[in-house]
Amino acid sequence: MIIIPAVDIKDGKCVRLLQGRMDAETVFSDEPAEMAKQWEDQGAEIIHLIDLDGAVGKMPKNLNAIKDILEKINVPVQVGGGIRQLDTIETYLEMGVKRVIIGTEAINNPQLVEDACEMFPEQIIVGIDARNGLVAIEGWTETTGVKAVDLAKKFEDKGVAAINFTDIHRDGMQTGPNIEETRRLAEAVSIPVIASGGVSTIDDIKNLLLLQDSGVIGVITGRALYEETLNLKEAIAISG
């Protein structure tokens, strides 16, 4: 299982939010690239970048910070936040981003996902963020009536590289990941799933490792690393 450190960018800074609330942020660094380099130095194989301003503003807002990260680290990055058009995806990939995450548009414009998968094979991830099992969009400011599992099933056999599944109530709260909901989604589709939200300690990583046979291939973790309740090297070592 791949352990994926998260670098969330807001106003050009590395922050973490509580349950995705833009008014509940903690700034961990004024230099996101330095944080990404720190995680790379500790053994990260890939870095998860989210443009939080872009997610709310519906278009990339922190391109300079992301370019800086790409220039300073050598491991791949996946990027999400405000990705609504094919040309935005192309811009990111040309910059050197490995994979692009489509979230809101997976609900509003699923054809974009299909077109992107066709144009950029193995480089498109669908981000499914759920609140009480229902998909949330627009930077988590709106909750739809669509079940996370139902949305995931729509993209079977469309060429999606992976699904990032986040339980919003757990995100940034360090209350442990939603194991059962993650298992349910992973077992419902053949697309590999990356878990996110709630990771706090090494025990949470151990619990997620039990989901590998269900199709969970990775876990994204942020606040636990920044607040040092989880050691990245230790998590990577036990994840094989």
| DSSP H helical ranges for the chain | 32-41, 52-57, 63-72, 86-95, 104-108, 110-119, 148-154, 179-188, 202-209, 223-226, 232-239
**Which residues carry out catalysis?**
8, 129
Burial of 186 (0-12, 13-18, 19+ CB in 10 A): buried
For 57, the 3-state DSSP assignment is helix
For the chain, state the CA radius of gyration: 16
